[in-house]
Amino acid sequence: MELLQLKQFKIRWFILYGVGVFIGITIFSFIMPDAPSKQEWVTLCISICLLLYVLYQSKKHQFTYSEAQVGEVMTGTRWTKYLSLTGCLQLAAYTSGVAALMFVFLRFENNIREFFFNFLNVEEIVHVPPIVYILFFVNICILAPIWEELFFRGILLRRLTIKWSPQKSIIVSSLLFGLIHINPLTIIFAFFLGCVLGYVYLKTKSIIVPIVVHSFSNFFAFLQFIWANRSSAELLPTTEGAQLTLRISVITFVVACLIALVIGLKYYKSFRNLTLPHKNADVPFD
């Protein structure tokens, strides 16, 4: 593991670069306000720029992100547990959001219906161009899992372990991983997902495993995106439909959380006992 090379990677420059890219692309998007699927193109460009930066720095510092082959460290049982855990987290995140929306809808139903029919363009809401689904899939199922795992697990997490314990490093890197998702509800579940991915990476020593697990989790989000944007003659639910959706969402949320908790508890002892060989190495940390 290239500990000294990891120290040479300046996290602050990566952050400044990311902020610069975001500001630059956002300004460009304002210049073209009527560009089709603007939000998806902006997100895609940001992901590509961040991925290229990480790949450039990886080549510059000669980072190696894997010390083991996937076939050597992964079994069918491990894949099942990792994927089930992340799938439950994603399902819990989605159902909690749906439950919150249905609760708000039922609380302010009359106001929402009045606003919907008086101020919103129904045609624009119903029609979602196919390019939106394509860009969304490429971004969250391919690009995001690659650059986020290379940076947050392959670079940031390993860099933190030079100074801190693996457990503290996983928690801190996962907190930062959660914060980039901005949405308060998403931050919580992204934090737990980051903890799983951090543990998976340090345990398997293969960056391919967390990338696959991350992509699998985001694929669930892609399916949820399709479901949320499906065309329907009735865009707003009936009162009875909203009440039923709220009940189902709450029950699904509880079940998903319980399953995730059971699987997580099985890994808790292993997480507490997780150690790294290089902790005794004399590597200064700035």
The residue whose two tokens read 């006992």 is 273
Transcribe 24-39 into DSSP letters: HHHHHHHHSTT-TTHH
Residue 225 domain-assigned (yes or no): yes
Residue 147 domain-assigned (yes or no): yes
Residue 249 domain-assigned (yes or no): yes
101 contacts 242 by C-beta, under 8 angstroms: no
Torsion, Cα 95 100 101 104, to 10 degrees, reads: 160
Q: Domain residues for 240?
A: 69-280
> What is the pLDDT, as a whole number, of residue 137?
94
Q: Give the least confident one: 5-19, 129-143, 163-177, 202-216.
A: 5-19
Closest of 241, 232, 156, 242 to residue 194, by C-alpha: 156
State the chain's mean pLDDT as an integer. Answer: 84
Helix axes 76-107, 208-228, angle to 10 degrees: 30
Retrieve residue 193's tokens. Answer: 């997902």
> What is the pLDDT, as a whole number, of residue 176?
93
Q: How many independent structural domains does the chain possess? A: 1
The residue whose two tokens read 């009735």 is 234
Q: Which DSSP category does 183 fall into?
A: S
Q: For the stretch 168-182, what's the b/e string if a residue is b when 16 or more beta carbons lie within 10 angstroms of its beta carbon? A: ebbbbbbebbbeebe
pLDDT mean over 6-12: 80
Residue 40 domain-assigned (yes or no): no
pLDDT, one tens digit per residue, over 55-88 is 998 998 888 898 888 888 888 888 998 999 999 9
Closest of 160, 150, 165, 164 to residue 197, by C-alpha: 150
User: What whole-number distance in Å separates Cα of residue 53 and Cα of residue 73?
Assistant: 29
90 contacts 217 by C-beta, under 8 angstroms: yes
Name, in order, each residue with C-beta under 8 angstroms of 32's C-beta and a sequence gap of 6 or more: 38
Residue 264 domain-assigned (yes or no): yes
Highest mean pLDDT among 28-42, 73-87, 230-244: 73-87
> What is the pLDDT, as a whole number, of residue 37?
67
User: What whole-number distance in Å separates Cα of residue 257 and Cα of residue 261?
Assistant: 6
Name, in order, each residue with C-beta under 8 angstroms of 242's C-beta and a sequence gap of 6 or more: 102, 105, 106, 109
pLDDT mean over 216-242: 78
User: What whole-number distance in Å separates Cα of residue 196 and Cα of residue 85?
Assistant: 8
Closest of 272, 259, 286, 276 to residue 85, by C-alpha: 259
Residue 267 domain-assigned (yes or no): yes
